[in-house]
Amino acid sequence: MDSMWAHEHGDLVAEAARLLRERGGRMTAQRRAILEAFRSASEHPSAEELFAIASRGDPRLNLSTVYRTLRWLAKENLVREITFSEAGRSSRFDTARPAAHHHFVCTGCGAILEFDAAEVAALRRRMERRLRVQVDRSTLVLYGRCAACSQPAGKRSPG
């Protein structure tokens, strides 16, 4: 269960370092802090959340640096940007994984579940033929209520 993705959060730093070396970029303390922040962040952190975490180690860190780093990471495919319509106007990020995965968002408590669905790949291929297009990327988000939130109020466990 722990090596089903090509890289875990841990090697984000190593991965980024490698890319930076290749491209003549620099591994700064700020970048390292931001990359490491993914470890303790929620599954789909916003820039703000990563900033809050990364700032703990270095209070001088600036939010714009976080944005710049995230944009760079997204371009290099180490991180992917997602937009949930429930999540206010802000973007969320997750560490990009090779396998396409999709999201369920609970409109009650905001919980996000990830899932993989093989049929999406088939659907993409079918749509490529039907619409005569080339599909590079897809996002599937289900919105609803998770088990806890869909229970009638009376039956819900306190808390």
CA dihedral 83, 84, 89, 92 (to 10 degrees): -50
Q: 124 is in the binding site of which of a second copy, DNA, none (Cβ under 5 to 8 A by kind)?
A: a second copy
- Is 94 a binding residue for DNA by CB under 7 A? The answer is no
Q: What span, in angstroms and rounded, lies between the C-alpha atoms of 63 and 37?
A: 13
121 in Cβ contact with 100 (< 8 Å): yes
Other C-beta atoms closer than 10 Å to the C-beta of 61 total 20
Least CB distance to DNA at residue 60 (A) = 5
Residues 6+ apart with CB under 8 A from 150: 108, 144
Stretch that binds DNA, among 4-12, 61-69, 106-114, 117-125 (CB under 7 A): 61-69
- Within 111-140, the residues that bind a second copy by CB under 8 A are 113, 115, 117, 119-120, 122-124, 126-128, 130-140
- Is 65 a binding residue for DNA by CB under 7 A? The answer is yes
Residues 6+ apart with CB under 8 A from 102: 114, 115, 116, 117, 120, 139, 140, 141, 142
- Of 13, 35, 61, 105, the one binding DNA (CB under 7 A) is 61
- Is 30 a binding residue for DNA by CB under 7 A? The answer is yes
- Is 100 a binding residue for a second copy by CB under 8 A? The answer is no
- Is 86 a binding residue for DNA by CB under 7 A? The answer is no
Q: 118 is in the binding site of which of DNA, a second copy, none (Cβ under 5 to 8 A by kind)?
A: none
Other C-beta atoms closer than 10 Å to the C-beta of 92 total 20
User: What are the residues binding a second copy (CB under 8 A)?
Assistant: 81-83, 85, 89, 104, 106-107, 113, 115, 117, 119-120, 122-124, 126-128, 130-147, 150
